[in-house]
Structure 1
Amino acid sequence: MSADFWASYASGAVGLLIGNPLDVIKVRLQAGASSNLTTPKAPAQQVYQFSGARSLIRGTAAPILSSGALNSILFMSYNRTTDFLKIGGPDATASLGTSWVAGAIGGLATWVVSTPTEIVKCRTQISSSASPANSWKVARVTLRTEGIRGLYFGGVVTALRDSIGYGFYFWSYELSSRIMASRMNSRGMESAGQEAAKILLCGGLAGVVTWASVFPLDVIKTRVQTQVLGTGVLIDGTQHRRFGAVEITRNAYREGGVRVFFRGLTVCSVRAFFVNAVQWAVYEMLMKELGPKKNLPPSTDVLL
C-alpha cells in the first residue's frame, strides 16, 4: 500500500488514543436519557467516572481497526471526485466549492464502515464502570441480538453527519491553508518551522470547524445509537420501543431545548483541535520517512 495510506493510518491511531478520554466525555454528555446512563453530568463530573487507565482508551479498538478501510474509501472517493469536478486539467487547483463537494461525497461513501464503527464505539464508551464492556463484547451482543442490521442502526443520520462534516473538513482546511500561505508569502516567511506551524494550525482549525458544522447531527446520532438494548428505552419506569432520528430529535428538544444539541461541544472542540494538530505532526513526520508529501488530511478520525 502507499506511504500516504500508512502515514494516515498511523497518525489516525495516535490521534484516537490521545483524544479518546475527551471523546468518552463527549459521548456521555450527548447520550443523556437515551442511553444506559442516568442523568447527564458536567465534564468535570464525567472525569471521575473513569475507573482506571483502561477507561481512558475504552472504545478505541473499533475505530482503530476500521481506520484503514475508512482512509481507503475517503481518499479514493475524494481524489476521484476532485479530478472529475476540477476545471483546467489534473494540474489545476481545485476550487473551494469542489473541495467541499468532493469531501461530502467521500464522507458519504464512508458510512458503510463508519456506522458500525460508531455503534460499537459509542455503546462501549457509555458502559458503566460497574459493568464495563469492550468493543468485541458490544459487537458480539449486537450481532447476536439484532443481526447485521443492528450494526447499521442510525445509518442515515451517520451518513448525513459524515457527508456534511467531511465536506467542511476539506473546505476549511483548504481555505485556511490558502489564507495562511498567502500571508506567509507576502511576508517572506518560508522556514520549515513556520510551514509546520501553518499545517498544524490549519489542521486543528479544520477539526473544530468540522465538528461545529455537524455537532447537532452527532448528538442525534449518539442518542439514536446508544438507546438501551433489548425491549426498548426506559423512560419513567416504562419500556418503550427504540426511537428513530426524528423522534430522538423531538424528545431531545423537549428535554433541554436547543442547548441540548450542543451539549459537549466545548469538550469536542478542544479535543478536535489538539488531536488534529498531533495527527498532522505524526503524518508529516512519517511522510518524510516513507514517501513524497501528499496534500491530504492525515486521518479520518475527524468524525470518529
Structure 2
Amino acid sequence: MSADFWAGYVSGAVGIIIGNPLDLVKTRLQAGSSSVQDVRGTSTAVVAPRSFRGQFENAGTLVKGATAPILGYGALNALLFMTYNRTLTLLGDSPATPNSFAKVFLAGATGGFASFVVSAPTELIKCRAQVSTEINATSWSIAKQIWAKDGIRGLYYGGGITSIRDAVGYGFYFWSYEWSKQAWSSPDDTDRETAFKVLMCGGFAGIITWVSIFPMDVIKTRVQTQVLQPEPVRRSEQQTLLHAEGRRMQLSTIQIARHAYQTDGAGVFFRGLGICSVRAFIVNAVQWAVYEWMMRLL
C-alpha cells in the first residue's frame, strides 16, 4: 500500500479515538427526541438529556459506537487521502504544494464522494449505536441486526445524503487546510513553528468543514436513526408523514428535513454545532499532524 493510504488510515483511527465522546453528544443532540430500534428490533425511547454530563450513562458510553468508526473511518480516511492525492495529480497539480485552490476543492470533493463506500455504513452503525440506550447494543450487534433484516441495502440506508455531505464537506476540508497553510506558512519557520501551524490549520479546516455541511449532517443523522411511531402526524392537508393503520414507514430525506423544520424551526439544523466545532478543531488538528508526520516518516 502507498504511504498516503497508511498515513490516512492511522490518522483517521487516532481522530476517532480522541473525538468519540464529543461525537456521541453531537449525534444525540442532532437526533433529538425520537425512538430508535435496539438490536432486537423493538423501539427504545431516546430523549436528549439537557446537561453535557447527562449524555453519558456510564464510563462505557465514552466509547459507545466507536468500534465501527475506528475500523471504518481509518479505511475511509485512507481512501479519502489516496483519492485526493491521485485526483489532484491527474488535474496537473502537486499534492505537496498545490497552486490551484479550485483544483484542491475538486480533488477533495472527489475523494469525499469516493469515501461514501465506507462512510455510509460506518455512519449508519455509529449513529444507531450512539443514540440507542440499549445496554447491550454494540456496533457489531447493530450491524448484524441491519444485515439480517435488510442485507447490504440496509447498510447503505441514508447513503444519498451521506455522499452529498461528504463531497461538499471534504471539498471545503482540503481547500480550507491548504489555503490557511499557505497563507500562514513561512520558509523561515522552525520545526516547532511548522508543527504548531499544522495543528492550527488542521483545526481551522475541521471547523470550516462542519459549518459548511452541518444542516445536511443533522438531516443525515435523523434519516439514519429514525424509527417512526404508528400515530399519524399531519402538518398540512397535503402532507401525511405516517400511516394511521399502525404500520411503520420510513421518511425520505426531504420529508425528514421538512418535518424537522416544522417541528423545531430553523434552529434544529444547527443543534449541536457548538460541541461539534470543539470536537472538529481537536480531532482535525491531531489528525492532520499525524498525517503529515507519517507522510514524512514513510
Shift of the alpha carbon at 1:220? 0.3
Paired position in structure 1 for 2:225: 226
SS of aligned partner of 1:274: helix
The percentage of aligned residue pairs carrying the same residue is 53
Match of 2:114, as an amino acid? A
The two structures have a TM-score, normalised by structure 2, of 0.86
8 Å CA contact 2:98, 2:104 repeated in 1:
no
Is it true that 1:261 corresponds to 2:269 in the alignment? yes
8 Å CA contact 1:30, 1:264 repeated in 2:
yes
Cα deviation code 1:215-270 (max 9, x no counterpart): 00000000000012xxx445579654111100000000011111000000000000
Alignment partners' CA distance in 1, 2:114 and 2:17:
25
Cα deviation code 1:157-188 (max 9, x no counterpart): 0000000000000100011011102xx45xxx
8 Å CA contact 1:86, 1:94 repeated in 2:
no
Paired position in structure 2 for 1:82: 88
8 Å CA contact 2:128, 2:224 repeated in 1:
yes
| Highest RCO, 1 vs 2 (Cα 8 Å, sep ≥ 6) | 1
Alignment partners' CA distance in 2, 1:10 and 1:235:
46
8 Å CA contact 2:170, 2:209 repeated in 1:
yes
Alignment partners' CA distance in 1, 2:96 and 2:151:
47
| Residue of 116, 121, 124 corresponding to 1:116 | 121
Alignment partners' CA distance in 1, 2:74 and 2:97:
29
SS of aligned partner of 1:48: helix
Alignment partners' CA distance in 1, 2:209 and 2:162:
14
Alignment partners' CA distance in 1, 2:182 and 2:96:
17
Is it true that 1:126 corresponds to 2:126 in the alignment? no
Residue pairs, 1:99-178, within 5 angstroms: 99-128=104-133, 131-178=135-182
Change (3 A) 1:220 1:91: closer
8 Å CA contact 2:162, 2:220 repeated in 1:
yes
8 Å CA contact 2:48, 2:55 repeated in 1:
no
Alignment partners' CA distance in 1, 2:248 and 2:95:
55
User: Structure 1: 5+ residue runs without aligned partners?
Assistant: 292-304
Shift of the alpha carbon at 1:68? 4.1
Is it true that 1:39 corresponds to 2:43 in the alignment? no
Alignment partners' CA distance in 2, 1:21 and 1:264:
13
Shift of the alpha carbon at 1:93? 3.2
Aligned-pair Cα RMSD in Å: 2.3
Shift of the alpha carbon at 1:131? 3.0
| Residue of 50, 53, 59 corresponding to 2:56 | 50
Paired position in structure 1 for 2:14: 14
* Worse overlay, 163-172 or 275-284: 275-284
Is it true that 1:206 corresponds to 2:213 in the alignment? no
Paired position in structure 1 for 2:260: 252
8 Å CA contact 2:11, 2:74 repeated in 1:
no
* Worse overlay, 46-55 or 242-251: 46-55
8 Å CA contact 2:12, 2:74 repeated in 1:
no
Change (3 A) 1:76 1:3: closer
